[in-house]
Amino acid sequence: MINVLTAVLIVAGILVLACGVIGILRLPDFYTRMHAAGKTDSLGAVLVLMGFALYSGQSLAFADLLVSLKILFIAVFIFIASPTATHAIMQTAIALGVKPWSKKEEKP
Amino acid sequence: MQSFMLAGAVAIILLIFPTLYRMIAGPSVFDRIIGGNMIGTKATILLLFIGVLFQNVSMFVDISLAYALLNFIGTLAAAKYFQHRPSGDPPAGGAEKEEART
């Protein structure tokens, strides 16, 4: 039962990460690529990490529960830190005057 | 379960390569920073897959935690550096971006 739940969570996370990779390859300019990278990275990573937390905590021994708690801490940290890093890069790009892509321009 | 974890690790490695293409060929420096950030997040997950495959998760979870912290610090440092860059350094984002800036 827990193995099935783990597999579902990990496959969903890898699918979300694959969507992010397609977005970072296909979208036309820097800001839209940031839109793909920032969201999918946090959601996909948190899904996969929750799957791992379930998988390693299923024996309910103390050491395994501690490992599970550490994995959940990584998930919480990525959930906070990845949007912060995306915001910092976006702010730097705006401060340097990078222009957003508009419909009239040629796709680079 | 082991073969499933192996398949997941291979999938993560196959996802790293297109991101590496964006990191090498990306037109501006910010594309490269974002590519590096995504590769770091995927490496954090890949370390956990490796830990399950070697049946030693309690060791690899610490390495993974340290990698997540260093990835965040590195991205913030790169963003901060390009915001307050010394004027003698090479320009960020190609020639046309520099024209748009001035």
Residues of B in contact with A52 (CB under 8 A): 48, 52, 57
Its ipTM equals: 0.86
The distance in angstroms from the start CA to the end CA of chain A is: 48
Mutate to test the interface with A, among B5, B10, B13, B30 (most CBs of A within 10 A): B30
Mean pLDDT, chain B, whole residue set? 84
Query: For chain A, how big is the Rg over CA atoms in Å?
Result: 18
Report the pLDDT value the prediction gives residue B29, as an integer from 0 to 100. 86
- Contact residues on chain A for B45, CB-CB shorter than 8 A: 13, 45, 48-49
Q: For residue A86, give how far its alpha carbon lies from the nearest alpha carbon of chain B (Å).
A: 8
| B21 to chain A: closest CA residue | A25
Distance (Å, whole) CA A5 – CA A55: 9
User: Domain-by-domain residue ranges, chain B?
Assistant: 2-101
Shortest distance between the Cα of A5 and any Cα of chain B, in A, equals 12
A31 domain residue, yes or no:
yes
Domain count of the fold of chain A: 1
Q: Exposed, middle or buried by CB within 10 Å (0-12, 13-18, 19+), for A83? A: middle
* pLDDT one-digit tens code per residue, B11-61: 999 999 999 998 898 788 888 999 999 999 999 999 999 999 998 888 999
Which range of residues forms the domain containing residue A44? 2-95
CA–CA min distance B82, chain A (Å): 7
Cβ of A74 within 8 Å of Cβ of B52? The answer is: no
Residue by residue, pLDDT tens for chain A (108 residues) are 888 999 999 999 999 999 999 999 888 888 888 888 888 888 999 999 999 999 988 888 888 899 899 999 999 999 999 999 999 998 888 888 777 877 776 655
- Maximum Cα–Cα distance across chain A: 61
Cβ–Cβ of A78/B11 closer than 8 Å?
A: no
Q: Could you say which of A30, A41, A95 has the minimum Cβ distance to residue B38?
A: A41
Residues in B closer than 8 angstroms to A3, CB to CB, are: 1
Residue A99 phi, psi (nearest 5): -85, 135
CATH code assigned to B2-101: 1.10.287
A65: which 2 tokens? 């529960």
Residue B75 has pLDDT above 70, yes or no: yes
Neighbours of A77 (CB within 10 A): 16
pLDDT of A98 reads 76
